[in-house]
């Protein structure tokens, strides 16, 4: 999955309706972990990261109607990333006004760890890709036989050979390859559903 999937435009259109609970549930499942990760990765404390995540989701709820998809892949994620960056800037500015830096080693290390804008955007995309894979995996895992799932996971994620997996699961090598192929196809279908126009 080298390309990070775009958010499905129909989901974005559905978000304009605050009463569409299914759309909001799917949106929160997909994006709240990414937003939370973004804040935690930048040194924001757990409770503050949770609050900031809710703030970002609230802005999306308020502005979903005004977001106009451009057809450019990743436009929504870029918009969402911009909202998260603004919330982070405001959070840091508020903290600077209330506390003075100590200049101690921990503060200097935290400042050195602040990523550049390019690193930040690339990390956002990688985390989106990772979270989407995990979300899609959970959708597929519950719909396939446990041995089929294990054959896929152990060969594709854990990097074990088909021969090793076949022996540990009591399957033929061919059955391991078939299981891996079927799960991969289902994962791709779910991800394509998210990125479909």
DSSP 43-59: T--HHHHHHHHHHHHHH
Q: Are 20 and 14 in contact (CB under 8 A)?
A: yes
Which pLDDT score is estimated for 1? 37
Domains and CATH numbers, the chain: 1-133 (1.10.1740.10), 143-197 (1.10.10)
Q: What angle do CA 51, 53, 59 make, to 5 degrees?
A: 105
Sign, Cα dihedral of 43, 47, 49, 51: negative
pTM of the model: 0.61
Give the chain's largest Cα–Cα span: 65
**Local confidence pLDDT in tens for the 197 residues of the chain:** 333 344 455 777 788 887 888 888 888 988 899 999 999 988 899 999 999 999 999 998 888 777 766 655 567 788 888 899 999 999 988 888 765 555 556 555 655 555 555 577 788 888 888 888 888 899 899 999 999 999 999 999 999 999 999 999 999 999 999 999 999 999 988 887 776 53
Task: Say how many residues make up the chain.
Answer: 197
Question: Within 10 A of 124 (CB to CB), how many other CB atoms are there?
Answer: 24
Cβ atoms 76, 12 nearer than 8 A: yes
d(CA 50, CA 33): 10
Cβ within 8 Å of residue 101, ≥6 positions away:
107
What Rg do the C-alpha atoms of the chain give, in angstroms?
A: 20
Phi, psi of 120 (to 5 degrees): -60, -50
Structure tokens at 118: 């390019």
- Measured CA to CA, the distance from residue 20 to residue 149 in angstroms comes to 32
Structure tokens belonging to residue 51 = 């609050």
Q: What is the pLDDT of residues 18-62, one digit of tens each?
A: 788 888 888 898 889 999 999 998 889 999 999 999 999 999 888
CA–CA gap between residue 87 and residue 93 (Å, rounded): 10
pLDDT of residue 105: 63
pLDDT of residue 51: 95
């Amino acid at each position: 999955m080298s390309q990070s999937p775009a958010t499905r435009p129909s989901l974005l259109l559905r978000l304009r309706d605050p009463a569409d609970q299914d759309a909001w549930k799917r949106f929160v499942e997909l994006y709240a972990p990414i937003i939370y990760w973004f804040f935690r990765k930048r040194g924001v404390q757990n409770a503050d990261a949770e609050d900031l995540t809710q703030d970002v989701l609230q802005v999306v709820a308020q502005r979903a109607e005004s977001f106009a998809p451009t057809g450019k892949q990743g436009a929504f994620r870029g918009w969402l990333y911009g909202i998260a960056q603004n919330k982070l800037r405001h959070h840091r500015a508020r903290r600077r006004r209330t506390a003075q830096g100590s200049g101690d080693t921990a503060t200097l290390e935290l400042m050195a760890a602040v990523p550049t804008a390019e690193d930040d955007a690339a990390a956002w995309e990688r985390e989106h890709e990772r979270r989407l894979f995990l979300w899609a995996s959970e959708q597929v895992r519950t719909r396939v036989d446990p041995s089929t799932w294990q054959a896929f996971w152990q060969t594709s994620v854990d990097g074990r050979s088909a021969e090793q997996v076949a022996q540990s699961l009591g399957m033929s090598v061919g059955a391991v390859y078939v299981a891996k192929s079927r799960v991969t196809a289902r994962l791709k279908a779910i991800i394509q559903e998210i990125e479909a126009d």
